[in-house]
Amino acid sequence: MEKNGGREKEEIPVHQGAPHGKFHSGLSSSELGEKDSEILSLTTNCPVTMLRISQKTDIPFVECLFRARNLQDMGLLRKLSDKCNAHGLYLYLAEERRV
């Protein structure tokens, strides 16, 4: 609590949803981390949703989506155009790596 002109003001966190700072700050668009490698390995040869990846890896769903976007920007992951189920989740597939 902090005093504000004689009144006590309770500090309320700005954002109580996804813990953005926990994973956004440690990501670089040019580096692949262990979690990125897990996502790519699960999307190799078999399209899968980020929800399924989140369940299999214990990576939070929002973080999976963020990492998927970074991997797409790097050309390593492709979001398929059709949504796969009634929940409207997209399928993702790892791109073949060209040497």
Residue 49 lies in a domain: yes
Residue 48 lies in a domain: yes
Write down the pTM of the prediction: 0.63
Tokens encoding 35: 């979690």
Residue 78 lies in a domain: yes
**Backbone dihedral region for residue 70 (phi beyond 0: left; psi -120 to 50: alpha; all else: beta):** alpha
- Nearest residue to 70 via CA among 13, 34, 38, 24: 24
Provide the domain limits for residue 38.
34-99
- Nearest residue to 79 via CA among 50, 51, 56: 50
Counting the structural domains of the chain, the total is 1
Distance of alpha carbon 30 from alpha carbon 74, whole angstroms: 8
Residue 93 lies in a domain: yes
Give the model confidence (pLDDT) of 47-61 as tens digits. Answer: 899 999 999 998 999
Give the model confidence (pLDDT) of 15-72 as tens digits. Answer: 344 444 444 434 444 568 899 999 999 999 888 999 999 999 989 999 999 999 999 9
